[in-house]
Amino acid sequence: MFKDIHYNEYTREFMEQLPKGAFLTVKDGESINTMTIGWGNIGVIWNKPIITVAVRYSRHTYHLINQSNEFTLSIPLKGQLKKELGYCGTKSGRDVDKFKECGLSAIKGNMVETPVIGECDLFYECKIVYKQTMEPALLDTTIDEKYYSNHDYHVLYYGEIVSAYIKEK
């Protein structure tokens, strides 16, 4: 069902889909939540393959990710799940079970406890190796004014990619 890949084998496809949305999933104990992200990076830091994601303090995911210290990314590559990406980007896991409401399946990860979303095509499992709180005073003022007028800043999470795979056709 899944084929292991080198972490950068589908970087172009990942980066093309990211602005359209991808699912960031976290698990803390029995609590599982997914949210839509549209920003992130993939590359090499400390001689490790790293995905960097940004989570705002106000998000339910923020509390879960700090307890779990891992996350998964599930990326739809065939134009599917637009409605689900929209829903998971506007509803809070504090109030609803997004998996149930969207009919998403949580598939056990290979190397982490956090599941991936079975309806997607490309998957990354990450263990957090560094967290960086944004320092507003160091942020370009035009970015600050455009994205943080309410002062709801992000924490950046650097996740070492411990497993990458794609759904086999």
Compute CA distances 140 → 97, 137, 143, 156, 158, whole Å: 36, 8, 5, 16, 21
Q: What is the pLDDT of residue 63?
A: 92
pLDDT at position 169 over 80: no
pLDDT at position 109 over 90: yes
Give the span between the Cα atoms of 73 and 52, in whole angstroms: 11
Q: What is the pLDDT of residue 91?
A: 87
pLDDT at position 9 over 80: yes
Query: What digits encode the pLDDT tens for the residues 51-70?
Result: 999 999 989 899 999 999 99
Q: Which CATH class is domain 2-167?
A: mainly beta
Q: State the pLDDT confidence band at 31, using cuts at 50, 70 and 90.
A: very high
pLDDT at position 87 over 90: yes
- In the chain, where the domains are located: 2-167
Query: What digits encode the pLDDT tens for the residues 124-162?
Result: 999 999 999 999 999 999 999 999 999 999 999 999 999
Q: How far apart are the first and last CA of the chain?
A: 8
For the chain, the average pLDDT equals 95
